Structure 1
Amino acid sequence: MTAQIDADGRLRHLLTLEGLPRAVLERLLDRAEALHPHAHGGAAVRDRLAGRAVCTLFFEPSTRTRSSFQLAAARLGADTLNFDASTSSTRKGETAADTLRTLEAMGVHGFIVRHHEAGAVDALAEVAGAGTCLVNAGDGSRAHPTQGLLDMLTMRQAKGADFSGLKVLVVGDVRHSRVARSDLHALRTLGTGEIRVCGPKSLLPDDAELAGCTVTGDFDAALEGVDVVMMLRLQRERMVDGLITSIEDYHRDYGLTEQRLRQAAADAIVMHPGPMNRGIEIDAEVADGAQSRILVQVGNGVAMRMAVLEELLAQ
C-alpha cells in the first residue's frame, strides 16, 4: 500500500484510516473543530489554498461526498474541477491513470477519487507525481476515510473527546459497507470503550475484520445501554441474491424504530451515513427525531474535508 504519512508525520495521501496514527487522526479532528465556524460561509480562510487546483475524480455517483468536498475546497479558496466519468474520455477507453496524468499536466495536484473497485485509489496514488495528493472518497466496499472522520467528529461533539467510556453500536450491512470499515478502524484507534456490531450473519464480514468487537445477531440485546447507534444502508446494489430473506423480515429484525431506540441510553445519538432507506433500516420518526444526528453528520462533512484538504495541500 502507498505510504500515507511522510517522514515528518504529515499526510501525503488519505487512502484509509487503517493504521493511521492516533496523533494524526486527532490532529485532523481538532482542525475540523477549528474550521467548523468557516465551513458554511465567510471568507476568513479562503487564502489557505488560493492558487491550488482540486479535482473531484468520480467514477461512481455521489451527492453528499462530492458536494461537501466541492464546498470544502471553495471555502479554502481552491480552484475546483468536477470530473464525471460518464462524459469524459474514459468512455473512449482512456485509463484512470492517464486521466490523472492529463489533469496533473494542467497543474492539478489535489484529487478526490471515488471508484467502484476496492484498491483503485491506492493504484492511482502509486502513479501520481511528486507533490500530488489523493483522497479516497470511497473505493468499493473497502474504505471511506473522510466519512469515518466526520462520523468521529459527530460523536466527539455529542459525547466528548474521550471515547474510552463510550459504547458504540454499528448495525446492518457491514459486509458491503466501506463506511463501517472506516468507522471501525477509527473507533479502535481512538480507544472506544466498547464496539458492538450487529446484523444478520450473511451481512457480516470475516471475523478478522471484527477483531475487538462484540458481535451479535440480536439487535434488541445489542441496543441495551449504548451511547451511539450507527445504522447502515442495506446495499442491495452490491449484494448477491439470498443474503436476506426479504425486506420485510430485515426491517422486523434490524430496523430501528422509536420503540427499539428506548433500549439505548436515554441520551444516545442516532447516526447514518446516508443515503437512507426509510422504513427498511431506520424509521422516519427516528431519522427525523430529537436523537438523530444524521444532518449534523452531513454538515460536519464540509469542516472535516476542509481539514483534510488543508493538511494535504497547504504545505
Structure 2
Amino acid sequence: MTTTSWNRHHILSLADFTPSEYNTVLQTAASFREVLSRRTKKVPTLQGQVVANLFFEPSTRTRSSFELAAKRLSADTLNFAPSSSSLTKGETILDTAKTYLAMGTDLMVIRHRDAGVPQAIATEMERLGSRVGVLNAGDGQHEHPSQGLLDLFTLCTLLDPGQPRWELLQGKKIAIVGDILHSRVARSNLWSLTASGAEVHLAAPPTLLPQLFASYGSAQGRQLHLHWSLEPALEAADFVMTLRLQKERMTQHLLPSLREYHQQFGITRDRLQLCHPDVKVLHPGPVNRGVEISSDLMDDPRISLISQQVTSGVAVRMALLYLMGSGKV
C-alpha cells in the first residue's frame, strides 16, 4: 500500500482539492485496483471500523460501490433506507446522523436530493466533537466528488496503467455533453479536469447549459469553453463524457422531446468522426440508451469506458475510505 500523508477529514467537494491530494487518491486507488485483481480481494485496513451508508436518495451504482469498497477494507457496514426509517415518524436528518454516531460509526457516506446536507452533517459532527468523517456521495445540484475522482482515475489509468497521475490530462481536450444544469457529476468533473490542465468543452441546449457555468473557468489557468451546439465541442476531442438527462430533477419543460435531443446532442458513431481517432467515451450511468448515446457505441469496448468507470469506482472508493479512516485505527 502506498504510504502517504492525508489531512482532509471530510470529502464534500473537489473545489479545493490540491494537486497532491488528487495524486494521492490516484496512487492509492491504483494500489487497491491491484488488490481487487487478486483471488483474495479483502484487506484488513479498516477492520473494526464502521461505515454508515446514509442514502436519503435512491441509488444503485454509488451505494453498491461504497458498500463493496467498505467490505473489501474489512469494515463493518450499516445501510440506511429512508422508507423504513424513523424519518417517516418525524425524525430529522441530523438526529438520524447522531443516532448512527451513537452506534459507533467512524465514517458516514451521505447522499441526498438537497444540496448542502452532507456539509450540514459534517458541521454537526464537528460541533459535537466527533471524529466521524463525512463523504459526500452526491447532494442535489452541488457535487458528486467520488464520481469525479473515479472518472479522473479511469482517464489517467488509460493513459498510464502503471502510474496514473493527475498531470497526464494536461492539454487533453475533453467534451462534456448533456444535462449539465442538473448534473452534480459535471460540477465535480469541472473542478478536477480543469485543474489538471485539460481543455474542457461543455455542450448542451441553452436551457441545460446556462452562462453561469463559465465561472468554473474563471480561475487562473483553467480552460473551459461553453457551446450550445455539439460539433465545436467534439472537434478533435480526446474524450467525450455524456451525461444522463435527469428528468426527475427537471421542474420545467426544458426540452421539446427526447428524440429531438438525440438528433442534436446524442453521441453516435458518426458524430465521433469529428473527434480524435482514438477517442474514448464515458457516461456516469444510469444510461438512457438511444437518447444520450447510441446502444451500439455504449457496448463497443474499443470506444466505451463505461464498464471501466464502474470497476474504477470500487478502487477509488476504497482509496477514499482508507485515506479518511486510516488515521482512526
* CA–CA separation in structure 2 for the residues paired with 1:286 and 1:114: 30
Call closer, same or farther: CA 1:39–1:96 in 2, change over 3 Å. farther
2:312 is the alignment partner of 1:312: no
How much does 1:9 deviate? 5.2
1:48 to partner: Cα distance: 0.2
Aligned residue among 194, 214, 223 for 1:188: 194
Counterpart of 1:288, as a letter, is D
Q: Secondary structure at the match of 1:213?
A: strand
User: Which SS does the other structure have where 2:169 is aligned?
Assistant: coil
Deviation at 1:165, TM superposition (A): 2.4
Query: What is the match of residue 175 of structure 2?
Result: 169
Gaps of at least 5 residues in structure 2 are none
Q: How many residues align?
A: 307
Is the Cα–Cα contact under 8 Å of residues 167 and 228 in structure 1 kept in the other structure?
yes
* CA deviation profile, 1:191-225 (whole Å, cap 9, x unmatched): 21x11111111101413245431111221222111
1:3 aligns with none
1:288 corresponds to 2:296: no
What SS does the aligned partner of 1:258 have? coil
| Selected match of 1:19 from 16, 19, 25 | 16
5+ residue gaps, structure 1, are 1-7
State the alpha-carbon separation in 2 of the partners of residues 40 and 314 from structure 1: 22
Cross-structure match for 1:227: 238
Is 1:297 equivalent to 2:301 in the alignment? no
Which amino acid in 1 is paired with 2:182? Answer: H
Is 2:229 the counterpart of 1:218?
yes
- For residues 285 and 152 of structure 1, the distance between their equivalents in structure 2, rounded to whole angstroms, comes to 24
Shift of 1:45: 5.2
Question: Residue in 2 aligned with 1:254?
Answer: 265
Deviation at 1:43, TM superposition (A): 4.2
The one-letter amino acid of 1:281's match is E
With over 3 angstroms needed to count, the CA separation of the structure-2 counterparts of 1:40 and 1:124, relative to structure 1, is: farther
Q: Indicate yes or no: 2:99 matched with 1:99.
A: no
Equivalent position amino acid for 2:204 in 1: G
State the Cα deviation string for residues 180-201 of structure 1 (Å, max 9, x = none): 0000100122221x11111111
Letter in 1 for 2:305: R
Q: Does structure 2 retain, via aligned residues, the 8 Å contact 1:41–1:75? A: no
Match of 2:207 among 198, 202, 212: 202
What's 1:147 paired with?
A: 147
Identity over aligned pairs, percent: 42
Partner of 1:182: helix, strand, or coil?
helix
Aligned AA (2:110):
V
Relative distance call for 1:123 and 1:41 in structure 2 (3 A) is farther
Matches for 1:1-20 after TM superposition, within 5 Å: 10-20=7-17
**Among residues 181, 185, 192, which one is paired with 1:179 in the alignment?**
185
Report Cα offsets for 1:53-107 as digits up to 9, x if no partner: 0010010000000001011000100001111111111111111111111111111
**Aligned AA for 1:145?**
P
